[in-house]
Structure formats: C-alpha cells, structure tokens
Amino acid sequence: MIQFLMNGEINKQINCTVKIVSKFTLLFCFLILALWGNAQNKINGKKIYETRCLVCHQADGGGVPNMNPPLDGSTNVQGKDIVRLVKIIRNGYDERVALDGMYYNNAMTANPDLKEDAIADVLSYIRTSWSNKAGLVTISQVKAALFKNKAAKK
C-alpha cells in the first residue's frame, strides 16, 4: 500500500484525477449556480410580470384586442432590438405604431423605479414564456441600453 503510494507514477495519476475531478466539480458547481441563478431570475421576472404587466398584457401574454398588444408571439418581443425593449419598460410606451400589423389604443405605464436587474429579469421572462423562445437579456445589456437611451435624450 505504502509502496504503492510511494510509487511516483501512481501518485501522479491520482493527482491528475483529483485535478480533473476538481475541475469538473468546479464546472459543475458553476453550471448548477448558473441554472439556479437563471431559475431565480425567471421567478423574479414572473413576479414582476404579475404585479406590473399582467393587468394589461394578461396572464397568457395574449393582451386585449385593440387595447394592449400581445407579448406572446410578438416579433419585437422576441427580436434583437433590446435597446427598444428596455426603453419601453423604463419609459412606458405610447407611440401608435403598428405592432405585427395591429394598432393599440391604450398607453403603457412607465416603470421608472425598476432596477437594471429587474428589467433584465422581466424581459427575459417575456422573451421565454408562453410560446416565446428568444434569448435571455443580461444586466449588462440593460445597462448598455439605458446608457444609450440617456445619451439619445441629451
């Protein structure tokens, strides 16, 4: 036994295995953390949606005909223009442009008190809920968008 342990070859091997295993463990932990984080973000996004958005866009994301647009299936919601989405959440929206070919008469409430992480969470939520299958939105994307919007205002 001792002899074995003393054996440099094997020792190296063990060392190596430990290293690899610990690397995997680390990676695994990260993965779990990331998944858990995502889940947390999704829960948080859902909570924000339910308290601030559901009243108009409805539980199924289907909106109210002629009044509030659907978010489920919306091209813009699943699109690449994150800057626009962030701006809509922060400042509200009242533009009367066609959204997927339809016009809506209501005015959307602004959310001046929503922090960057909360905006990222609620956008991630609406982009991945119902039939929507777009990418998550990160805090740094939100920060960049808010910076851009601010610069545009000046």
In the complex with ligand HEC, which residue's Cβ is closer, 37 or 79? 79
Cα–Cα dist 46/43, whole Å: 5
- Return all residues near 107 (Cβ < 8 A) that are at least 6 apart: 92, 93, 94
Q: Which two tokens stand for residue 107?
A: 């005015």
In the complex with ligand HEC, which residue's Cβ is closer, 99 or 145? 99
Residues 69-88 contacting other proteins, CB under 8 A: 70
Write down the least CB distance from residue 110 to other proteins, Å.
5
In the complex with other proteins, which residue's Cβ is closer, 44 or 106? 106
Question: Binds 110, which of ligand HEC, other proteins, none (CB < 5 to 8 A, cut-off by type)?
Answer: other proteins
Cα–Cα dist 84/153, whole Å: 13
Number of C-beta neighbours around residue 139 at 10 A: 15
- Sole window of 20-28, 36-44, 56-64, 116-124 interacting with other proteins (rule: CB under 8 A): 56-64
Q: Report whether 89 contacts 111 (CB < 8 A).
A: yes
Question: Binds 93, which of other proteins, ligand HEC, none (CB < 5 to 8 A, cut-off by type)?
Answer: ligand HEC
CA-based nearest residue to 78, from 93, 94, 107, 99: 99
Q: Which residues bind other proteins (CB under 8 A)?
A: 50-52, 54-56, 58-60, 62-68, 70, 92, 94, 96, 103, 105-110, 112-113
